[in-house]
Structure 1
């Protein structure tokens, strides 16, 4: 495809097929994880396999597009919560939104930390997500709402860990993650606690 062809606006039928494809891919990845095949996605969308590759040259590009939509959603949530009156509640609500997304989308963690991790769009989305997480953490930290030695990276890893802890039982206890989020957040607010070991240790 030439640069001039790439710059042309999509025809209405192409826009429709792309929309069906993205919706089908998002649902398939969320339900089955990143291992779902392009053929399965195409069948679910009611389009040909070739149409998938006309819109997304590789499966990794398609995965990245879906994951980046989720990342952008979380970034928007975080930016809104930076205006929350209570910094601690803003951070807790953000963590809740992030963990809940993971429980509903099996591919999210798989892709961010696996198959499409090095995709340029995913890397950019990760940078934006890291930045808003650090901003929310810093705001809560400066207000005294959480321990002074907690970083945005700590929060990012905790959000993933909370999901991973609850994941084996989510099929029968879909809200179990909330228990571990409460435990983690209570620990983040601990007072008179020993300093955390250095993150490099």
Structure 2
């Protein structure tokens, strides 16, 4: 029969062993989070450079992981595409919300549009966004971004920084326009889109504004 001292020592040893279990679990979770972020960054770069023809193997190679690691995080390529778009939309929403309490709403709106165009110039995800247009999570995030942009526009309009007939939907639809304005040039300067952003933003200002020929579209 085991004595009480022996049982106490065994219990103490067992407790010590158990107390170390959470550490590797946390480490594994951190590794998984880092791998997922690396995969999303690699996928975004590959899709922007090579379009939807990019293979999962190419993405894994760029991220420095095995192909199987990709499928441990994303069951299908379509799921990975949706995750890339979701990450992009959340980044823009975060910026819009950060600027929403700016003391200068007009400058805040211009800063947001500059950041959005710069992001698009660096990583054109037009085809990827079209491919994930029906994904429920992407739709929800797109609607959230639309609302966040609308809040910026409302504040800018209320303080007279943009014309009274401009809506959040107008500005949301113009976000990509500065970059797309130069796509037909064979070798445009990297920052040429800034010229067209300035032209667009001047068109939003109330000075010298003329009535618009059509009402703003509804967002649905």
- So what's the TM-score if we normalise by structure 1? 0.84
Out of 157, 165, 182, the position equivalent to 1:166 is: 182
State the partner residue of 1:99.
Answer: 117
* Contact 2:117–2:179 (Cα < 8 Å) also in 1: yes
CA contact (8 A) 1:134 1:152 kept: yes
Q: How many Å apart are 1:144 and its aligned residue?
A: 1.1
SS of the residue corresponding to residue 11 of structure 1 reads helix
Q: Could you tell me whether the CA contact under 8 Å between 1:99 and 1:160 is conserved in 2?
A: yes
TM-align CA RMSD: 2.3
Relative contact order: is structure 1 or structure 2 higher (C-alpha 8 Å, sep ≥ 6)?
Answer: 1
Residue ranges of structure 2 left out of the alignment (5+ in a row) = 1-24
Secondary structure of residue in 2 paired with 1:106: coil
Between 1:137-146 and 1:11-20, the stretch displaced more is 11-20
- What corresponds to 1:57 in structure 2? 75
CA contact (8 A) 2:167 2:216 kept: no
Q: Which has the higher mean CA deviation after the structures are superposed, 186-195 or 12-21?
A: 12-21
The Cα offsets for residues 94-142 of structure 1, whole Å up to 9 and x where unpaired, read as 11111111001122x2222x10111122112101110110000111111
Which of residues 106, 119, 125 in structure 2 aligns to 1:88?
Answer: 106
CA displacement at 1:85 relative to structure 2: 1.2
Instruction: Please give the residue correspondences for 1:172-183 in structure 2 after superposition, counting only pairs within 5 Å.
Output: 172-183=188-199
Q: Are 2:175 and 1:149 equivalent residues in the alignment?
A: no
Is 2:149 the counterpart of 1:133?
yes
Q: 1:53 to 1:26 in 2, by over 3 A?
A: same
The number of residue pairs the alignment matches comes to: 191
**Residues 117 and 170 (structure 1), Cα distance of their counterparts in 2 relative to 1, 3 Å cut:** farther
Name structure 1 gaps, 5 residues minimum: 1-7
TM-score by length of 2: 0.78
Q: Deviations over 1:31-58 (max 9, x none)?
A: 3333322121122223333332221111
1:25 maps to 43
Query: What is the CA deviation profile of residues 149-192 of structure 1, one whole-angstrom value per residue up to 9, with x for unaligned ones?
Result: 01111101111222211234485411011000000000110434
* Bigger-Rg structure (1/2): 2
Question: Contact 2:47–2:128 at 8 Å: present in 1 too?
Answer: no
Q: Residue 32 of structure 1 contacts residue 106 of structure 1 at CA under 8 Å; is this kept in 2?
A: no
Q: Does 1:11 align with 2:28?
A: yes
Report whether the alignment pairs 1:111 with 2:128.
yes
